[in-house]
Structure 1
Amino acid sequence: MKIKELVQTSLIVAAIIVLGMIPPIPLGIIPVPIVMQNLGIMLAGIVLGSKNGTIAVGIFLLLAFLGFPVLSGGQAGPAVFVGPTAGYLLGWLLTPSMMGYSLSRPFMSRSWGQLTGIWVTGVLIVNIIGAVWLWIVTPISLIGALGSGLVFLPGDTIKAVAVYLVAVRMKMLSGAFSRN
């Protein structure tokens, strides 16, 4: 990894951690709050590309696993990785790879295709993985878990649009959409 890539990766890890300082919003209907960190996860995929984005998210999750209170609300430790939010964390780890792959497809070269790629990988797939895990570890039915996940879609869609706008701005400045 080159120095520039190392610095960029470190800055994205730091950005994800800083986004975790924004207090989570508990929903009450499910044991998974609304958080801002998924914005940073999507940024990792779009700014760093598949490989370095996955490395950044992996480092972030490793810090959380080791007990550093980097997850929203100060959560940390191995218990988080088997609790109700673990599926979302797994989805986060997969997001940069899936985003890099989807955005490298020829049909994703248009604006709506790029925005769709960001939304499908950073919002839809993460929420499906999270809901399936929630169904496995809680008494919530699969349909209930998937249905309750709908509450995340409006806010996560706004985050995906913000990530897309950052990516467009970066493309104008650097000439590259993402390094996959």
Structure 2
Amino acid sequence: MKIRQLTQTALMIAAIIVLGMIPPIPLGIIPVPIVMQNLGIMLAGLFLGSKNGTIAVGVFLLLAFLGFPVLSGGQAGPAVFIGPTAGYLFGWLITPLMMGYRRSRPFMSHSWGQLIVIWISGVLIVNLMGALWLWWVTPISLIGALTSGLLFIPGDTLKAVVAYLVAVRMKVLSRAARQV
């Protein structure tokens, strides 16, 4: 890995950790809170691409597994990876991978295509995996888990739009910096 890529990856890990410092919002009806870290996961896929984005998220999750309190609300340790929120964490790991794969498709030249890929990878797949895991490890029924997953769709969709807008703005700024 080149120094520039290593630095960008480390900065993205730091950004995901910082987003975890924003307190989670408990919903009360399911043991999964609303968090801001998934915005960082989407940004990792957009800025770093498939390989380095997945490495960044993987290292972040490894830190959490090892006990560093990097998850929202200071959560950490192996127990988190078998608890009710683990499905979302596993979804986070594949998000940059899927974004990079989907971004290589021809329809990605259009802004709507890019936004759809971000939404499918960072919102739909993550929430589906999270709901299925929630159903598997808790007494919540499959329909209940899938329905509860719908609670996250509006906020996560907003985060996907923000990630897209930030990525577009950064692309414009990087072009301007290269011209100077």
Structure 1 segments of 4+ aligned residues over 6 angstroms from their partners: none
1:138 Cα deviation (Å)?
A: 0.4
Residue number in structure 1 paired with 2:70: 70
Residue number in structure 2 paired with 1:158: 158
Residue 54 in structure 1 maps to residue 54 in structure 2: yes
Alignment map for 1:25-174 (pairs within 5 Å):
25-174=25-174
1:103 Cα deviation (Å)?
A: 1.2
For structure 2, the residue ranges without an aligned partner over 5 or more in a row are 176-180
Rounded to whole Å, the distance in 1 between the matches of 2:25 and 2:170 is 30
1:174 Cα deviation (Å)?
A: 3.3
Residue 11 in structure 1 maps to residue 8 in structure 2: no
Residue number in structure 2 paired with 1:178: none
TM-score (norm 2): 0.95
1:173 Cα deviation (Å)?
A: 2.9
Structure with higher RCO (Cα < 8 A, 6+ apart): 1
1:170 Cα deviation (Å)?
A: 2.2
- String of CA shifts for 1:15-59, please: whole Å, max 9, x gaps: 000000000000011100000000000000000000000000000
For structure 1, the residue ranges without an aligned partner over 5 or more in a row are 176-180
**1:26 partner SS:** coil
